[in-house]
């Protein structure tokens, strides 16, 4: 006996980072907005829909985005605002299903199978989610409804922005078969070229192609995977989200940096962001990792496990700077030691309130963590830039 079809929703906040910036700054509304860092070397973290009409997309080099859309307004990211909006978003989703699988800060799957008597049919649930997202956090969500995760994700994207597409079980093949093969999960540029060499350009083409040949050409695993998806078969369940496995922050410099003091200041600022995100998530970290990319694109990482898990930004930052001192960063040793990117991340995460062994420096640990909590409250009320470390404040011109 065939199992009853599931009802899966994929909910995605439209142009998330850019939409938060436009929500919080009325002067940005209706304008092409790019969220990112350096205009010379940074990449676009998010682009508003006003910018996307010029062909700008996420992960595009910022310089290329500005060539395509020179009138765009570039804003730096505000992770605390995005994290706050994300918490509100997932709080809404949790009201509609206990089965919520987080894909990122701004998108998730929900399994609402069998909730009709309590919450209404899937369309009613989707409309309710969209309305609450708009009313409670001031953002716009697109929703796809389908019997599988694969189809639901395509459905949420097909009518963006502010979309709602329902694909019923009997309509799945008619919906996906005309779409390009790039819509299949796992098809990147290389696989797309291999499929094109076989004359396969749509999902329907893949569905009609002999699976045995597809396996020989692509490998057993990838061939079977694409063949199943092309027939609308995707039995993966929605898996309730767990805690993140890492939290980090990195940035690419507009001009290469080779002074240890400059890099140390940047790392301490990044540690502040990481510590704030740990506290927002109710977590603490056991391991600190440093990431350095040199001017010649050589990438190195260093990590260290702390004696005691922490949420203290200062502890994280000092550890990162200590790791930096193990690397060669000195302009006197040549260009290859100049740095174009650096980042701090933490792993080995656990709940902040998990039992822990007390240490001899317990008062200092408590003071450091309490200071972080106080700074979080100040930033939440008055903005991220009100209080900064003294080493982050540029000197006065007269100094």
Active site positions, annotated: 107
Token pair belonging to 119: 């919450």
CB burial class (10 A; 0-12, 13-18, 19+) of residue 39? Answer: middle
């Amino acid at each position: 006996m065939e199992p009853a079809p599931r009802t899966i929703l994929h909910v995605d906040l439209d142009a998330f980072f850019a939409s938060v910036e436009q929500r919080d700054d009325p002067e940005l509304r209706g304008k092409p907005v790019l969220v990112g860092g350096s205009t010379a070397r940074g990449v676009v973290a998010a682009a508003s829909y006003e910018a996307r009409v010029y062909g700008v997309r996420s992960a595009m080099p910022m310089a290329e985005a500005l060539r395509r859309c020179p009138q765009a307004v570039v804003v730096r990211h505000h992770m605390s605002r995005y994290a706050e909006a994300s918490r509100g978003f997932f709080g809404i989703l949790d009201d509609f299903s206990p089965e919520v699988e987080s894909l990122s800060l701004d998108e998730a799957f929900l399994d609402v199978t069998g909730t009709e008597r309590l919450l209404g049919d899937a369309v009613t649930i989707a409309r309710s989610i969209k309305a609450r997202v708009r009313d409670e956090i001031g953002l716009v969500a697109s929703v796809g409804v389908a019997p599988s995760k694969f189809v639901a994700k395509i459905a949420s994207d097909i009518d963006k922005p502010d979309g709602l597409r329902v694909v019923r079980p009997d309509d799945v093949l008619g919906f996906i078969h005309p779409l390009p093969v790039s819509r299949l999960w796992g098809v990147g540029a290389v696989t797309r070229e291999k499929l094109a060499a076989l004359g396969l350009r749509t999902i329907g083409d893949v569905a009609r192609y002999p699976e045995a040949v597809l396996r020989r050409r692509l490998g057993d695993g990838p061939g079977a995977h694409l063949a199943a998806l092309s027939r609308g078969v995707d039995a993966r369940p929605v898996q309730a989200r767990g805690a993140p496995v890492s939290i980090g922050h990195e940035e690419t410099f507009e001009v290469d940096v080779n002074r240890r003091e400059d890099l140390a200041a940047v790392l301490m600022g990044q540690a502040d962001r990481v510590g704030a995100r740990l506290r927002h998530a109710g977590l603490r970290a056991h391991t600190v990792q440093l990431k350095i990319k040199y001017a010649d694109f050589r990438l190195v990482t260093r990590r260290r496990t702390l004696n005691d898990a922490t949420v203290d930004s200062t502890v994280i930052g000092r550890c990162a700077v200590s790791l930096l001192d193990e690397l060669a960063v000195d302009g006197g040793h040549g260009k290859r030691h100049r740095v174009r990117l650096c980042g701090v991340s933490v792993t080995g995460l656990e709940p902040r309130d998990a039992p822990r062994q007390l240490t001899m420096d317990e008062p200092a640990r408590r003071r450091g963590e309490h200071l972080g909590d106080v700074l979080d409250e100040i930033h939440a009320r008055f903005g991220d830039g009100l209080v900064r470390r003294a080493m982050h404040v540029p000197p006065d011109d007269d100094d």
